[in-house]
Amino acid sequence: MKLTTKGRYAVTAMLDLALHGDAGPVSLAEISTRQEISLSYLEQLFSKLRRSGLVTSTRGPGGGYSVARELSNVAVSEIIGAVNESVDATQCGGKENCHSHGRCLTHDLWEGLSAQIEEFLSGVSLQDMIDRQRVQSVSMRQDKVMVQRPYA
């Protein structure tokens, strides 16, 4: 299965943005500090997220990013797709050329797994994630760390 750090970081950054966006745009520097993701990497991800219409940007002092839609209307699968990731469990990327002569014996199994993962991720929104108590607890812990070392 191929869900690389790009997809994971995009979901993490979007969730951070959703958790902290009530007070206005959130800077990538803040997300970088809280989530320990390189600022330059976040810039690349947010460029793709903006082009996909998932975030909006505000320039100038106090600027940053905001989630472009209602949190309940942003599925995790959309975030992953926006950064050109997939959750394809097949070795062939769905092309059915797993072996030199075509499709492998287990192609349908891995294709079915991919469909289940896609269905699951499509059914989970940013709001669903925020509503989880564990997410709230982790966010509060990260906020405390950020107060101790802002924009490290």
Give pTM, 2 decimals. 0.88
With vertex at residue 125, the alpha carbon angle to CA 53 and CA 25, rounded to the nearest 5 degrees, is 50
CA–CA separation, 142 vs 130, rounded Å?
14
Q: What is the CA radius of gyration of the chain?
A: 18
Strands (DSSP E) along the chain, which ranges? 55-58, 64-67
DSSP designation for 126: H
Sequence-ordered list of residues with C-beta below 8 angstroms from that of 22, at least 6 positions apart, any chain: none
Q: How many Å apart are CA 13 and CA 25, to the nearest integer?
A: 13
Structure tokens that stand for 71 in this block: 């949190």
The confidence score (pLDDT) of residue 94 equals 73
- Asked if 42 and 87 touch (Cβ cutoff 8 Å), the reply is no
Q: What is the pLDDT of residues 94-140, one digit of tens each?
A: 778 877 778 888 889 999 999 999 999 999 999 999 999 888 889 88
Query: Could you tell me whether strands 64-67 and 55-58 are parallel, antiparallel, or unpaired per DSSP bridges?
Result: antiparallel
Q: Can you list the domains of the chain with their CATH numbers? A: 5-148 (1.10.10.10)
pLDDT in tens, 40-75: 999 999 999 999 999 999 998 889 999 999 999 999
65 SS3 class: strand
Please tell me the number of Cα atoms within 13 Å of 73 on its side-chain side: 7
